[in-house]
Amino acid sequence: MSDLDQLTQSLARNLKRWRGERGFTLDALAARAGVSRGMIIQIEQARTNPSVGTTVKLADALGVSITTLLDHEQGTQVRLVPESQAVRMWSTEAGSSTTLLVGAEARGPLELWTCRLAPGEGTTSDPHPEGTVELLHVTEGELTLVVDGRTHSVPARTSATFEAHVPHGYRNEGGVAAVFTMAVAIPPVR
């Protein structure tokens, strides 16, 4: 089984499990997440591999981290995640990528990401639930952070934090790769 097939199967199993634990019908989850009922059915039957945006919307609506949605079999209090088990969420031929390093469920989902943006590339994110906070640290290059339509230049060795309940995105307008680590803290579902 390929990594993608394994990811699709895990997502299908865990989406169905978490939807059941939350007591959400297909229609209720669709409304909360802004994802069609048909798409949720396709995902739960492992017939599609949804976009990162759709996966984030579903995780947010369920009040869990993407890590938990992709793999709920978490063991002891200490969990080591070797590089080979980190989840590459997207990549481009130019070398940009986003990788979920690790996540936890402590007073709401908490995720740690590493991101690399090739020159001229970028990615956007839909607003997260109210109370979501993102923290990031640029280790190489210069990142252009866009939050609610306003741009902020974040050079190497600089950190930033912002409330992520508004549209936001990340761009590399420089001539070298922009590499950054990002933590996302999502409040628990009420």
| pLDDT tens readout for residues 44-82 | 998 988 888 899 899 999 988 887 787 745 433 445 566
Q: What pLDDT was estimated at residue 1?
A: 63
Mean of the per-residue pLDDT values for the chain? Answer: 85
End-to-end CA distance of the chain: 37
| Last residue in a domain, options 70, 101, 119 | 70
CA dist., res. 74 & res. 64, Å (int):
13
Question: Residue 57: is it exposed, middle or buried by C-beta count within 10 angstroms (0-12/13-18/19+)?
Answer: buried
Confidence class of residue 180 from pLDDT cuts 50, 70 and 90?
A: very high
Q: Which residue(s) pair with 185 in the sheet?
A: 110, 133
- Tens of pLDDT, residue by residue over 148-168, are 999 999 999 888 888 898 999
Residues 110 and 64 in one domain: no
Q: Cα separations (Å) of 133 from 45, 61, 151, 168?
A: 32, 16, 17, 12
- Average of pLDDT values for 15-29? 88
Q: Which of 98, 176, 101 is nearest to 143 (CA)?
A: 176
Q: Give the residue among 181, 143, 187 at the shortest CA–CA distance from 164.
A: 187
How many Å apart are CA 166 and CA 133, to the nearest integer? 11
End position of a domain, from candidates 70, 104, 119: 70
pLDDT the model gives residue 64: 86
Domain stop point among 22, 48, 70: 70
Domain contains 78: no
Name the domain count of the chain: 2
> Is there a single domain that holds both residue 87 and residue 51?
no
- 153 and 180 assigned to the same domain: yes
**Helix or strand or coil: residue 109?**
strand
Whether residue 91 contacts residue 115, with contact meaning beta carbons closer than 8 Å, is answered with no
Domain contains 91? yes
Q: Is 119 helix (H, G, I), strand (E, B) or coil?
A: coil
